[in-house]
Amino acid sequence: MGSSTRVVTGLILLALVLVVLFVPHPLPLTLLVWALGIVGLWEYLRLVGVIGERRVEGEWLKEEAEAGGLSLPLSPSSLNSSSFIRLATSLLTFTLLIAGCYFRNLILVLGSLCLPFVCFARDLFMFGRDPEGWPEGQPVLGLFVAGPVYLGLALGLAVYYKVEGNLWPLIFVAACVWAGDTAAYYVGKALGKRSLHPLSPQKTWEGALGGLVAGALAAMVIGLLGGLFPWWLGFVLGIVINAVGQLGDLLESFLKRVAGVKDSGTIFPGHGGVLDRIDSLLFALPVYALISGLLALL
């Protein structure tokens, strides 16, 4: 896949996001977030082996993962009959969570998060009937419950901010993450020598530091333009938010590595799947909401 395809896809995605972001009514953005979240949730559940079959490309990956202390949560064959129930529960949970954020209904949001635990209780009963399969089943249970929360918190916050008519937090986090990602790529390509982590060998410490600085500068500017923070606080928060975003990227790299795949999906030509595009935001946006909420109490 050529670089031109990647650029064209990126420009189309950027234009689409900008259009729905600045349309006065929140429904278009909500529908886009919901659609991307459904695809992302499907990708996540396949990566962790909750649905479908795990694709491990060779024994070298398993041996390397075990040597590095990584866990391979393989889906036992006894779970295949329950895949549809887990998938349906996850999709319904995510849908209700987004709806709760759209209608600003806390009861609907909290109620939706109870659904995975209902299915979790069912799985506990099923695994209890097969004690020998319990060690393999435990990771699957935890990862299944985590799925809707992993995507729902950040994407639900995006919907909430839009419904509230306050786009500056979204712009702040997106600018911090995307400016940092861009700088990390070019700084790492020009100056990178030391690998950041085995999960993502192409990323370097030099690139990560360049990303932190660029993300902090972008956050400082947006924080001033939006009247969110004084320049120094915007800079400090930019460092924190970008660092958290890089952790989110490493988490998705971990999921892909233990699944034995290069990309989470193929929906975006030249870019991979939904998780490949929003992995940093999934961590960065909830942390921003937490920090800004705590600062508001001071």
**Cβ partners under 8 Å of residue 156, min gap 6:** 97, 98, 100, 101, 109
What is the pLDDT at residue 62? Answer: 47
Determine the Cα–Cα distance for residues 246 and 81; give it in Å rounded to an integer: 36
What is the pLDDT at residue 260? Answer: 85
Which H or E run includes 200? strand 200-204
Per the CB < 8 A criterion, the answer to whether 268 and 9 are in contact is yes
Instruction: Give the angle 42-92-50 at the CA atoms, nearest 5°.
Output: 40
Output the tens digit of pLDDT for each of the chain's 298 residues.
Answer: 556 777 788 788 888 888 999 999 999 999 999 999 999 999 998 888 777 654 444 343 444 444 444 444 444 333 455 678 888 899 999 999 999 999 999 999 999 989 988 888 877 777 666 666 555 555 666 788 889 999 999 999 999 999 999 999 999 999 999 999 989 988 998 988 898 888 787 889 999 999 999 999 999 999 999 999 999 999 999 999 999 999 999 999 988 988 888 899 888 887 889 999 999 999 999 999 999 999 999 8
Please report, for residues 106, 288, 292, the alpha-carbon distance to residue 297 in angstroms, rounded to integers and kept in the order given.
20, 14, 9
Per the CB < 8 A criterion, the answer to whether 172 and 223 are in contact is yes
Under DSSP, is residue 197 helix (H, G, I), strand (E, B) or coil? strand
